[in-house]
Amino acid sequence: MNNIFIKNLTALKQKNPELTQELQKYIPTELPKIVQLNNAYNIEYKNTIIHHQTNPLAEAHQIFDSSVNTPVSIHIVYGLGLGYLFQVASLKSQGTVILYEPDLNILWFAFTLVDFSEDILKENVYIASTIEMLSGYIYKKSGIKNSPVVLSLPSQRNFNPEKFDEIIKQLQNTVASFSLDLKFTQYKLYPSLIMLLKNLPNLHNEYPLARYKDIYKDKTAVVVSAGPTLDRNIETLKKYRDRFVLFTVGTAVKTLYANDIKPDFLCIIETYNSSRQVEGLDLSEVNFITEPYANPALRNYKYKNIYSHISSNSPINNFWAEICEEENDEYCSRGTVSYTALNCARLLGCSKIILVGQDLAYIEGQCYSKDSAYKDLCCTYNNEKKCWEITAKDFEQFAKAISPSPDPITRENTALERLKNLNSALYYVKGINGEQIPTESVYSTFIKPLYQYTQVFNDREYINTSLVGAQIDGFKNLSLEEALKNVKPIEKIELGNHIKLDKEKISNNLKAKLSELKTAFNIIDEGEKLTKNIQNNIKRYRTINEEILKTLRKVTENYLDLTNNLANSSKLLELIITEYKIDLDYEMKMLKEFNLQNVSNINNKLSQFYKNIKCRIKEVEDLICLNN
């Protein structure tokens, strides 16, 4: 090892020990060649000159300068070469720089020639050699108002176009998935908390599903979703109904009932009122599995029993798990109810889990099965627009299915907005037969988590019966007939309803959480006084002076005390403030000049922040006192 290589690895070890260890042991299989063209150093790799042959540094500056550069930007430098573009990005980026170099031959070679140690050690710089590492860094730095941009050399894009396109597609899926998580955090976190608090009178009587772990040990489960291929499997489900435990999602349950098939378990986890999915059905012999924060309207129906799936990836559920003192590590979820149903089947002990209707794509013009709640949606190619398009065959029926509002205008607007969102999110994924098929971008993000699930819980047999939908790695592709023909009938097993939560313990824990909010009120009161002081002094002096800047610093310290220090120790406060904090953190990062307009603007937003949080704390206190 030469001194430059050691210096680079020493710096890298502080940021990425895993990659450092890999490079220390790595033996190159094909080394690039150093070439000097027009007084500039370049490299040749696999018969390709990597950098601009005349001025590689100017090329790097031109590529970087064409990108958006703000404090929240994420610049992904795809390919290292001799590091011209990487070092320019490291020098100029106001946001985050992530170098992605999947070819260890180039990474190893460049590390022996160029001293990158100062770049590597910068707080905003990360280095990844795998898509998993890259995804982790993107997730760490992503926000609602930033979108990663890929910076690459023309040679890098032309070097292996198919691989480059594949990486870009993976990045798009990654960003879409993270965007969903972030949007949930910003826009649905607090509403979910309100749903949870409204559910308090019922939650005492619901049974944590994990307490019934392995009750169906070694049995077969069928998880039914509402994809178009559900219709093709109805007769087989009827034929072998006594051989499996049947889990269904809400959008598929009407299809099952229309064919005289009753599920053992119904899973619905939405925070919006999705009761239209089950309207008119007799569910008295069906077990209902839901999240603690799911819409209260769903709990108004008569079920055999209600069981809680306290998803561990949800901040709301982590708060509830703390309140009711339940371990929730076993409850895995990734935003799709099918994933939740899959986890329920595993949690209850099923060793063979079969997916039905899990197409994750639009098949032969159909979006959902013909008797599902959203049966009127279809996906067809619009020759005039030259693109695939989702429409509703019976718009009025679709509007009624998607919105419970009695107002026809509200239903119409809700349906139009849904169609608009669906069409803006059209995407293409690899089908089971290898072809590209249309789907919704959200569905495409479910494919990888399902595969990862099979890798983590690899002691089960996973089967997908779609055969014409999206390819889900980790699942065997078999017909439902083939998957069930050798399965033996199972005896009826009852979960029972003898395990309930401790109501008194929950009540005491909630009271303790309310006391944390009293501390928050004191900090907010002080913050409001400071923002009022700034507002008055701006009116008085009509300029920014030292007194105003000192007060602004005090407000900032107050804000950080509330949103960082206190929120880190109080989950309840964190749930209350997160939505507004995301926006305000962005505004504060973007603040560059402390002139009259900017200071007045940020002070007004801080003032409004305190008012909003005060209102929310009052609402939460009232709900806890009313329902506890």
Long-range contacts, 55-62 (Cβ 8 Å, 24+): 56/82, 56/84, 57/84, 57/88, 59/84, 59/85, 59/153, 60/84, 60/85, 60/87, 60/88, 61/88
DSSP state of 217: T
The top-level CATH class assigned to 3-180 is alpha beta
Per-residue model confidence (pLDDT) at position 173 = 66
Residue 294 has pLDDT above 90, yes or no: yes
What is the pLDDT averaged over residues 312-329? 92
List the domain boundaries for the chain.
Answer: 3-180, 201-359+441-484, 503-627
- Sign of the Cα pseudo-torsion (462, 467, 469, 470, in order): positive
Beta-bridged to residue 290, according to DSSP, are: 308
Per-residue model confidence (pLDDT) at position 146 = 66
What distance in Å separates the CA atoms of residue 551 and residue 172, rounded to the nearest whole number?
Answer: 43
Per-residue model confidence (pLDDT) at position 5 = 93
Of all residues in the chain, the percent with pLDDT exceeding 90 is 60
Count other Cβ atoms within 10 Å, centred on residue 492. 6
- β-pair type (305-308, 387-392): unpaired
Of all residues in the chain, the percent with pLDDT exceeding 70 is 94
Per-residue model confidence (pLDDT) at position 180 = 57
- Tell me the DSSP string of 3-34: HHHHHHHHHHHHH-HHHHHHHHH---SS--EE
What distance in Å separates the CA atoms of residue 116 and residue 525, rounded to the nearest whole number?
Answer: 48
What is the pLDDT averaged over residues 144-153? 78
Higher pLDDT, 215 or 132: 215
Per-residue model confidence (pLDDT) at position 588 = 86
Per-residue model confidence (pLDDT) at position 301 = 94
Residue 272 has pLDDT above 90, yes or no: no
Beta-bridged to residue 1, according to DSSP, are: none
What distance in Å separates the CA atoms of residue 188 and residue 285, rounded to the nearest whole number?
Answer: 32
Q: Give the tens place of pLDDT for each residue, 443-476.
A: 777 888 899 999 999 999 999 999 998 999 999 9
What is the pLDDT averaged over residues 420-438? 80
Count other Cβ atoms within 10 Å, centred on residue 292. 28
Cβ atoms of residues 12 and 18 within 8 Å: no
Higher pLDDT, 397 or 20: 20
> Residue 594: CB partners within 8 Å, gap ≥ 6?
544, 549, 552
What distance in Å separates the CA atoms of residue 133 and residue 156, rounded to the nearest whole number?
Answer: 20
Angle at which helix 84-92 crosses helix 56-65, to 10 degrees, equals: 40
What distance in Å separates the CA atoms of residue 308 and residue 203, rounded to the nearest whole number?
Answer: 8
Angle at which helix 395-402 crosses helix 408-424, to 10 degrees, equals: 100
Report CA 328 to chain centroid distance, whole Å: 19
Six-digit token string for 558: 């107050």
Minimal CA–CA distance to 317: which of 341, 299, 292?
292
Per-residue model confidence (pLDDT) at position 120 = 95
Per-residue model confidence (pLDDT) at position 421 = 77
Residue 144 has pLDDT above 60, yes or no: no
Minimal CA–CA distance to 79: which of 134, 145, 18, 153?
153
Cβ atoms of residues 357 and 223 within 8 Å: no
Angle at which helix 17-25 crosses helix 104-113, to 10 degrees, equals: 90
Per-residue model confidence (pLDDT) at position 220 = 98
Residue 325 has pLDDT above 70, yes or no: yes
DSSP state of 592: -
Per-residue model confidence (pLDDT) at position 368 = 72
With tokens 């399902």, the residue in question is 450
Per-residue model confidence (pLDDT) at position 179 = 60
Q: What does the mean pLDDT of the chain come to? A: 89
Q: Give the tens place of pLDDT for each residue, 553-608.
A: 999 999 999 999 999 899 999 999 988 988 888 888 888 789 999 999 999 999 99
Higher pLDDT, 34 or 164: 34
Per-residue model confidence (pLDDT) at position 385 = 76
Beta strands in 6-155 (DSSP E): 33-37, 40-45, 48-49, 74-78, 96-100, 125-128, 149-152
Q: Give the tens place of pLDDT for each residue, 357-407.
A: 999 887 776 667 766 667 778 887 777 877 778 888 888 888 888 788 888
Per-residue model confidence (pLDDT) at position 183 = 60
Per-residue model confidence (pLDDT) at position 376 = 78
What is the pLDDT averaged over residues 241-267? 96
- Tell me the DSSP string of 267-320: E---SS--GGGTTT---TTSEEEE-TTS-GGGGGS--SEEEE---TT-HHHHHH
Least confident of 209-218, 387-396, 480-489, 603-612: 387-396
Per-residue model confidence (pLDDT) at position 458 = 96
Per-residue model confidence (pLDDT) at position 286 = 97
What distance in Å separates the CA atoms of residue 613 and residue 558, rounded to the nearest whole number?
Answer: 14
CA 199-205-206 angle, 5° bins = 80
Residue 266 has pLDDT above 90, yes or no: yes
Per-residue model confidence (pLDDT) at position 402 = 79
Least confident of 18-32, 50-64, 113-127, 405-419: 405-419
